């Protein structure tokens, strides 16, 4: 996994040259962190399991920003990579295996720092150690909600049946009507 720069989650600051492999790695870590906070915020009575899955190494265009020689080698090794269909196995397992809800409940009861994580071989496993950083995970949560214009207590409000207003969209609509 990578490192999440919460000040530049979209890689737009220009601090570094964009690299698709680094961006992918950072986005996967951010996904685990965000979902881990979501899992903690959902009460048990919500009956919702939160987990992340790894498709494994799937043949995609992720090598597009790598040096040409590396791209050529990458294109020669499809026999060692999963197809998109093969990569979907872990997601299908996570969505349909009857033992997954109990596994998620057990992690939550043990106050495990991350949400459930299913590996490419359809087995529960530990997320990367970087994902266990609860301070960084909360920063990712807060920054993500800010980026999409939702209040920090959006989940709690939705569970209570309250309406949640997208602050950014609301401001844009108000300025368009004046």
Q: Give the integer Cα–Cα distance in Å for 108 and 133.
A: 16
Note if 24 is an active site residue. yes
- What whole-number distance in Å separates Cα of residue 171 and Cα of residue 178? 11
Burial of 160 (0-12, 13-18, 19+ CB in 10 A): exposed
- Please give the DSSP secondary-structure letter assigned to residue 13: S
Give SS3 for 117: strand
Mapped to the 3 state alphabet, what secondary structure does 48-91 carry? CCCEEECCCCECCCHHHHCCHHHHHHHHHCHHHCECHHHHCHHH
Catalytic residue among 24, 74, 103, 117: 24
Q: How far apart are CA 107 and CA 39, in angstroms?
A: 10
Buried b / exposed e along 33-45 (16+ C-beta atoms within 10 A)? bbbbbbbbbbeee
Residues taking part in catalysis: 24
């Amino acid at each position: 996994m990578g490192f999440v720069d919460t000040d530049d989650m979209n890689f737009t600051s220009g601090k570094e040259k964009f690299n698709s492999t680094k961006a992918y790695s950072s986005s996967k870590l951010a996904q685990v962190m965000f979902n881990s906070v979501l899992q903690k915020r959902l009460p048990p009575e919500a009956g919702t399991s939160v987990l992340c899955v790894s498709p494994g190494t799937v043949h995609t265009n992720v090598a597009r920003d790598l040096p040409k020689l590396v791209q050529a080698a990458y294109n020669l090794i499809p026999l060692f990579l999963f197809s998109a269909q093969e990569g979907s196995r872990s997601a299908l397992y996570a969505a349909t295996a009857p033992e997954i809800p109990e596994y998620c409940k057990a992690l939550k009861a043990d106050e495990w720092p991350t949400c459930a994580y299913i590996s490419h071989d359809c087995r529960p496993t530990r997320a990367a150690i970087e994902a266990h950083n609860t301070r960084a995970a909360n920063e990712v949560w807060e920054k993500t909600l800010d980026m999409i214009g939702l209040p920090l207590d959006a989940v709690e409000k939705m569970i209570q049946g309250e309406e949640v207003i997208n602050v950014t969209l609301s401001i844009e609509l108000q300025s368009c009507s004046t």
